[in-house]
Chains A and B, each alone.
Chain A
Amino acid sequence: EVQLVESGGGLVQPGGSLRLSCAASGFTVSSNYMSWVRQAPGKGLEWVSVIYSGGSTYYADSVKGRFTISRHNSKNTLYLQMNSLRAEDTAVYYCAREVRSSWTFDPWGQGTLVTVSS
């Protein structure tokens, strides 16, 4: 079964850091495009970052320079390192596989909540 499980969310002060993890099963992270998408409380979906199978990375302007996406091939795990966190980064963070044969995000993990507050 293809599955994604996020972890690492929590409460952090403004200016702090947090690293999210997304463990994959049923497929190989390094052979796929993998994205992070977030959802602020009561709001819609916002794409955050992607890492391509070849290793190239891209970011939304709202997080560029503060967030870093990476992966650990042997652990089959995706990461999102978040630095200089702001209140507006408060959201549920989902990891998702990009399926290039259908140009979609599928599947999604269950999400992990990040709260930035003093």
Chain B
Amino acid sequence: EIVLTQSPGTLSLSPGERATLSCRASQSVSSSYLAWYQQKPGQAPRLLIYGASSRATGIPDRFSGSGSGTDFTLTISRLEPEDFAVYYCQQYGSRTFGQGTRLEIK
């Protein structure tokens, strides 16, 4: 089973700053199978990025994904107040999720 490890566990930043979230796989995964989700308190997860780098419908272009093999990154170029949430990466093949990164307001 592929294990996804996200870092950092918590990221404290201010609105307007750039956020870089990491997702590392225990073995190489197909970029096609790597997705990112955003979850706000009391809400279901929402799809942000699929295929490692493609934005889902309606997702602002300040969100971008990159990476290949075992290392993937979600970048939020300029944080808006509504971006503070928990972010999960997911590998479809084994239907596994990372443990999440909490993005909090500094």
Contacts and interface: CB of A to CB of B under 8 A. Distances in A.
* Chain A at the B interface: SS class: strand
Contact of B88 (A44, A98, A109): A44
Interface of A: 35, 44-47, 50, 94, 98, 102-111
B5 to A, nearest CB: 12
B95 A47 contact: yes
Nearest to B45: A108
B57 to A, nearest CB: 9
B97 A102 contact: no
B54 A102 contact: yes
6 contacts: A98-B92, A103-B35, A104-B56, A106-B47, A108-B44, A110-B44
B98 interface: yes
The listed residue with most B CB atoms (<10 A of its CB), out of A98, A102, A110, is A102
A103 B95 contact: no
A103 B51 CA distance: 8
Contacts of B100: 44-45
Given A102-B35, A105-B45, 9 more contacts: A44-B88, A47-B97, A103-B92, A105-B35, A105-B47, A107-B44, A107-B47, A108-B45, A108-B46
Contacts of B98: 44
Interface string B17-42: 00000000000000011010100000
A104 B88 contact: no
Interface string B71-106: 000000000000000001010110111111000000
B51 A105 contact: no
B44 A44 contact: no
Which 7 pairs show the lowest CB-CB distances between chains A and B?
A103-B92, A108-B44, A47-B95, A102-B50, A45-B97, A106-B47, A104-B35
Contacts of B93: 103
Nearest to B36: A104
A104 B50 contact: yes
A107 B46 CA distance: 7
A47 B98 CA distance: 11
